[in-house]
Amino acid sequence: MLHYGFAYICSERRHRPRRARLYVTLALLTFFLTPWANSVAAEPSSVVEPYPTGDFSLRFARHRADFDYPTRDIDTTVEWISVRWQEKLNSRVHGRLFGGWTTLTQDNNPATAGARLRGFHAGFGVHVNLLGRRRARLFLSADYTLQDVDDDAVAQKVSLEWHQVQLQIGVSTLVGIAIRLYGGLNHGVIDGRQRESGTTNLTIDFDRGPVSGGFAGLEGTIKENDFIGIELQSGLSRQAEGFSNIVFSWTQIA
């Protein structure tokens, strides 16, 4: 049913306003994930938990995507330094909050040519273990992210703000006792706005998607609950991300 909901969004793309598509997608994710979370809350689980309760992790990411402007696509590079907090809500469901620093550069956009825009990102998500045994499981996750960057030139200011919704469905497996491999499919949409003020005042909308792709990752346990990993994605953006909670473990020990 979720597939048909996304298919409807795609078929209506040319007739539905960009921002409306984003909100419809977010509403669909909320509608379908909430019953899943409620239905599995009381069920016993034999799934190996991927994250310790109350886990903080530090994440570094680089994304490349073509933002769709009215006249052309703009090649956009986004880099993150992010902190994520993941909390166990029940036996199968984890919620997460994340935020941090964002930088953006673009090719072939006169308003941002030669500039490195800086700002922030913030968001939330949910991870649901649908099925699983000790060494393998099927999972579903969804994330919403807000990003805002700007650059103040002498006579002209430019800022970009965009919303991103992404859904993932995948499988993971334990290799030995210390390595977790995972991968699957993703589907997402971006809706944003570029604002210019100063000698020229201008507002331009941009978007991307809905777009489908894939993801794959590897996570290794160093000791007890300490982990380090890397994840690659395609689809909404071409992304490489590294992450670890070791720095927070050291802080707690100190």
pLDDT in tens, 43-74: 444 344 444 445 889 999 999 999 999 999 99
User: Quick one: pLDDT at residue 162?
Assistant: 98
User: For the segment 120-166, what is each residue's pLDDT rounded down to a tens digit?
Assistant: 999 999 999 998 776 788 999 999 999 999 997 767 899 999 999 99
Which of 133, 132, 231, 247 has the alpha carbon at shortest distance from 186? 231
Give the C-alpha separation, 18 to 189, whole Å. Answer: 10
For CA atoms 218, 101, 141, 44, give the dihedral sign. positive
- 2-253 CATH: 2.40.160.20
CA distances from 186 to 69, 91, 142, 209, 236 (A): 23, 24, 9, 12, 8
The ranges assigned to domains in the chain are: 2-253
User: Quick one: pLDDT at residue 91?
Assistant: 81
Cis omega before residue 210 (within 30°)?
A: yes
Whether the predicted pLDDT of 194 surpasses 80: yes
User: Quick one: pLDDT at residue 135?
Assistant: 79
pTM of the model: 0.78
User: Quick one: pLDDT at residue 59?
Assistant: 94
Give the C-alpha separation, 253 to 251, whole Å. Answer: 5
